[in-house]
Amino acid sequence: MNNILEKDLKTYITRDYSVFKYLKGNRGINLKNVNSIVDNVRDNGLLPTIVIVNENMEVIDGQHRIEAFKQLNLPVEFQIRKGLGLKDCIAYNVSSKKWETIDYINSYAERGIEDYITLKKCVDEYPSFSPSTLATILLGKGAQGDAVSVPVKNGKFKIKGNINQIISKLNFLDSVQEYIVVRGRKDIVIRVLASVIDLEVIDQDRMAEQLQKGTNKNVSVVCVDDALEYLHEVYNHRKKSKVRFKDAYYDRFA
């Protein structure tokens, strides 16, 4: 016991849930998580859990527990740790449940960063595409979806290109995505198509028509080259003058 030190940190308890403030930029309340906590408490009893807030009563860790305890009319035990903010909140959350791309998008959008606000609008307006796919398209990063995770997470996401032209491209992709039938990574096909569809050598009307015809269905796609081969075959079906999709793509993203 000689190596155990006592720290002067008070623990408070309250049933007045209104004293707690949810930190702007934190991810939203997930009702599934709240209900899971409620069920666990009902099945196993209340386990000792401490909610962490800062000096402004903004919740750093424990917002789902507060919502669950509110449903159960149980008191909330909490500690006040001065100086903590959103960065600490994210650190707490990452250690318990990993933040997803949409959590970072929502967080930065709530803080008023314009590029994230635009990205969030695209996420809301084009639900058939994943947030990471939309971020990739708006970043102009080709099909390298993994490359977008760092700028999205660290607040350095910047839209590349004219937003009106990007929206036009998204409208086209949204209109044809149901006709893209492949085994494996359909998202890679979407990202590759977004990367080349505005090139002068490619006719959008022909691409849409060929996709709707459904030629070359159920091709296996696991990488960029697979997607390029698929689009090459679809677009060039019965076309005398072939468009070399690999050359067009790699010339742009060399």
Report the pLDDT value the prediction gives residue 1, as an integer from 0 to 100: 45
More confident of the two residues 35 and 2: 35
More confident of the two residues 32 and 207: 207
Alpha-carbon distance of 190 to 134, in angstroms, equals 10
Alpha-carbon distance of 24 to 112, in angstroms, equals 11
Residue 138's pLDDT band, with cuts at 50, 70 and 90, is: very high
Residue carrying the six token digits 């930029």: 25
- Residue 134 above 50 pLDDT? yes
Q: CB–CB of 18/27 below 8 Å?
A: no
pLDDT tens per residue across span 4-38: 555 667 889 999 999 999 988 887 888 888 888 88
Q: What is the distance of C-alpha 103 from the center of its chain?
A: 6
Return the percentage of the chain with pLDDT > 70, whole number.
89
Residue 177's pLDDT band, with cuts at 50, 70 and 90, is: very high
Q: How many CA atoms lie within 13 A of 7 on its CB side?
A: 6
- Residue 95 above 70 pLDDT? no
pTM over the 0.75 mark: no
pLDDT tens per residue across span 143-168: 765 556 778 888 889 999 899 999 99
Residue 185 CB neighbour total at 10 angstroms: 18
More confident of the two residues 217 and 54: 54
Arithmetic mean of pLDDT over the chain: 85
- Residue 233 above 70 pLDDT? yes
Report the pLDDT value the prediction gives residue 189, as an integer from 0 to 100: 92
Cα dist from 139 to 25, 76, 129, 158, 164, whole Å = 22, 43, 15, 6, 14
Mean pLDDT lowest among 23-32, 173-182, 192-201, 242-251: 23-32
